[in-house]
């Protein structure tokens, strides 16, 4: 199996384009209007595959021109997370734009503690096992996202 982490030399433009077009499609399917702030926050996150803090998102946006306040960034992040287009990376206190093609609610995130890149695994069997275990334990699952912390292939070899 190939690494879930994209090759250093991959065409990142393709990642951006597919994530943006999927975002518009998903928003429409969910009857949500996709506002300019959401697009800007998503684009700021899509600059690379690293987890980005809300503070750094504000910086990235403000570097590009028309400024956004932190509160606007948080609001946009909330609505993007609601649609499964952005995930929160707890260990990094940061966010990542989703790169999975389909609807993505409870992925498994692979967070590299060295370069801060995040890869996503959306294994249905892992999600199903979590739901089943929660149910058996009478645990009302609110968020089944799993976060794995480690080193990506590039950092392991470094």
Residues near Zn ion (CB under 5 A): 6, 12, 15, 98, 100, 104, 107, 112, 114-115, 120, 152, 155
Packed helices 36-45 and 54-62: angle between N→C axes, nearest 10 degrees: 110
Cβ proximity to Zn ion: between 15 and 62 the closer is 15
Cβ proximity to Zn ion: between 121 and 141 the closer is 121
- Return the residue matching tokens 């606007």: 72
Query: What's the min distance (Å) between Cβ of 11 and Zn ion?
Result: 7
Q: Which tokens is 71 given?
A: 């509160």
Q: What is the DSSP string of 109-158?
A: EEEETTT-BEEEE--HHHHHHHHHHHHHTT---S---EEEEE--HHHHH-
Query: What's the min distance (Å) between Cβ of 138 and Zn ion?
Result: 28
Phi, psi of 47 (to 5 degrees): -60, -30
Q: For the chain, how long is the longest CA-to-CA vector?
A: 51
Q: How far apart are CA 34 and CA 12, in angstroms?
A: 23
Query: What's the min distance (Å) between Cβ of 56 and Zn ion?
Result: 17
Query: What's the min distance (Å) between Cβ of 86 and Zn ion?
Result: 8
Cβ proximity to Zn ion: between 61 and 119 the closer is 119
Please answer whether residues 97 and 46 qualify as being in contact, where contact means their C-beta atoms are separated by less than 8 angstroms.
yes
Cβ proximity to Zn ion: between 11 and 64 the closer is 11
Query: What's the min distance (Å) between Cβ of 136 and Zn ion?
Result: 26
Cβ proximity to Zn ion: between 61 and 122 the closer is 122
């Amino acid at each position: 199996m190939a690494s879930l982490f994209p090759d250093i030399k991959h065409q990142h433009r393709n990642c951006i384009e597919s994530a943006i077009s999927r975002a518009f499609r998903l928003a429409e399917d969910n009857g949500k209007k996709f506002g300019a702030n959401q697009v800007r926050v998503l684009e700021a996150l899509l600059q690379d595959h690293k987890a980005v803090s809300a503070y750094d998102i504000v910086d990235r946006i403000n570097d590009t021109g028309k400024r956004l306040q932190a509160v606007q960034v948080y609001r946009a992040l909330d609505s993007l997370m609601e649609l499964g287009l952005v995930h929160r990376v707890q260990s990094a206190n940061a966010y990542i734009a989703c790169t999975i093609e389909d609807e993505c609610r409870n992925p498994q995130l692979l967070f590299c503690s060295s370069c801060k890149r995040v890869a996503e695994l959306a294994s249905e069997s892992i999600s199903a096992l979590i739901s089943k275990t929660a149910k058996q334990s009478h645990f009302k699952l609110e968020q089944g996202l799993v976060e794995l912390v480690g080193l990506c292939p590039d950092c392991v070899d470094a």
